[in-house]
């Protein structure tokens, strides 16, 4: 069984309680402190994913892969000869199957798109405020910024990321964040602008958070006690930097590199399962179909 994930409508308190009492968690992480660390990391991962803005290309690729699976293009005939994404909206997608356009609503469930009933459509030219596609929104924002900033010949601006209420753009190698509103007629009005000086630090901390969580999970499946001091040191460093609002960018980057080294070393160790207070490798069990998943060994 996989490590529990937070449900969309679940509070942090309810999730931590469910995670701490999960059978798989109790088996793989018998130590309460370690199990608590994994559970809180799972919740933190959910929080960071909700805050992260998915780029157009990432969202389009994800939906395309899901639609190919939905239409069984990897299965037996009959199946579509071709399938491509035409437009991606906040909660629906328009795609082309063998020349026929379809519109389908979708929602994200456990980080994967789930599609509703598809209907045939004749055009992708839908350009209202509510139905504005991410690609069209980017084009609209780009043009509005060019006008708003009164850019002359040789000046440039490019959009780094955006949501439905904010846009992060780069001008002269400096990143800025500004809020905006979009009127029914497509007119963009920008709010206050601020310099963004910690974009790289944020991404580095996000990477460090993921590696930190993975170290906790992997260490619980393997006997890392022969170099426990090394593991403890990197975990304490990660905790210190991740909890700091003003962590030095260079320190975060160096910690991320060291964390990856420790993680790779832990992964090189043989997985073990705790039975009656002692740890045993996969070879000690009659049934161990996956050498890296002690929870299924019997």
- What is the pLDDT tens value at each position of the chain, 298 positions in all? 467 888 877 888 888 888 888 887 777 777 776 677 777 777 766 654 444 444 455 667 777 778 777 776 544 445 556 778 877 777 788 888 877 788 888 888 877 888 888 888 765 544 444 445 566 677 778 888 888 888 877 778 888 777 778 888 888 878 888 999 887 667 889 999 988 764 444 567 777 888 888 888 777 666 655 567 788 888 888 888 887 767 777 888 888 889 888 888 888 777 777 676 666 676 777 776 766 666 667 7
On whether residue 98 sits in a domain, the answer given is yes
On whether residue 58 sits in a domain, the answer given is no
On whether residue 177 sits in a domain, the answer given is yes
Q: Are residues 206 and 191 in the same domain?
A: no
Q: Are residues 290 and 232 in the same domain?
A: yes
How many other C-beta atoms can be found within 10 angstroms of the C-beta atom of residue 44? 17
Q: Are residues 203 and 297 in the same domain?
A: yes
On whether residue 128 sits in a domain, the answer given is no
For residue 18, how far is the Cα from the chain centroid? Answer: 22
Helix (H) or strand (E) holding 235: helix 228-242
What range does the domain containing 38 cover? 1-52
Helix (H) or strand (E) holding 7: none
On whether residue 150 sits in a domain, the answer given is yes
Q: Are residues 230 and 208 in the same domain?
A: yes
| Burial class of residue 210 (count of CB atoms within 10 Å of its CB; 0-12, 13-18, 19+) | middle
Q: Which of 197, 212, 247 is the last residue of a domain?
A: 197
Q: Are residues 48 and 71 in the same domain?
A: no
On whether residue 126 sits in a domain, the answer given is no
Q: Tell me, yes or no, if the pTM score tops 0.75.
A: no
Q: How far apart are CA 163 and CA 179, in angstroms?
A: 9
Output 24-31 pairs: Cβ under 8 A, ≥24 positions apart. 24/295, 27/273, 27/294, 27/295, 28/220, 28/221, 28/294, 28/295, 29/220, 30/274, 31/220
Are 195 and 175 in contact, with CB atoms under 8 Å apart? yes
Q: Which of 197, 217, 233 is the last residue of a domain?
A: 197
Domain count within the chain: 4
Q: Are residues 258 and 204 in the same domain?
A: yes
């Amino acid at each position: 069984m996989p490590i529990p994930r937070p449900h969309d409508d679940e509070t942090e308190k309810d999730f931590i309680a469910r995670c701490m009492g999960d059978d798989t968690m109790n088996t793989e992480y018998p130590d309460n402190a370690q199990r608590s660390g994994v559970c809180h990391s799972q919740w933190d991962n959910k929080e960071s994913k909700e805050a992260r803005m998915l780029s157009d290309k990432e969202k389009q690729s994800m939906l395309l892969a899901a639609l190919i699976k939905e239409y069984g293009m990897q299965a037996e005939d009959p199946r579509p000869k071709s399938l491509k994404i035409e437009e991606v909206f906040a909660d629906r997608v328009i795609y082309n199957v063998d020349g026929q356009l379809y519109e389908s609503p979708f929602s994200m469930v456990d980080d994967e798109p789930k599609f509703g009933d598809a209907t045939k459509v004749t055009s992708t030219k839908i350009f209202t405020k509510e139905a504005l596609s991410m690609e069209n929104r980017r084009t609209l924002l780009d043009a509005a910024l060019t006008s708003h900033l009164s850019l002359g010949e040789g000046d440039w601006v490019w959009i780094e990321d955006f949501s439905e209420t904010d846009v992060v753009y780069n001008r002269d190698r400096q990143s800025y964040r500004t809020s905006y509103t979009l009127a029914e007629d497509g007119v963009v009005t920008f709010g206050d602008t601020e310099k963004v000086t910690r974009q790289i630090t944020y991404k580095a901390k996000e990477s460090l958070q993921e590696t930190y969580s993975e170290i906790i999970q992997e260490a619980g499946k393997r006997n890392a006690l022969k170099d426990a001091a090394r593991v403890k040191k990197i975990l304490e460093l990660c905790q210190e930097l991740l909890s700091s609002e003003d962590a030095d960018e260079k320190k975060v980057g160096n910690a991320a590199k060291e964390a990856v080294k420790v993680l790779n070393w832990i992964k090189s160790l043989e997985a073990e399962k705790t039975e009656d207070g002692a740890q045993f490798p996969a070879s000690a069990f009659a049934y161990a179909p996956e050498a890296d998943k002690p929870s299924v060994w019997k």
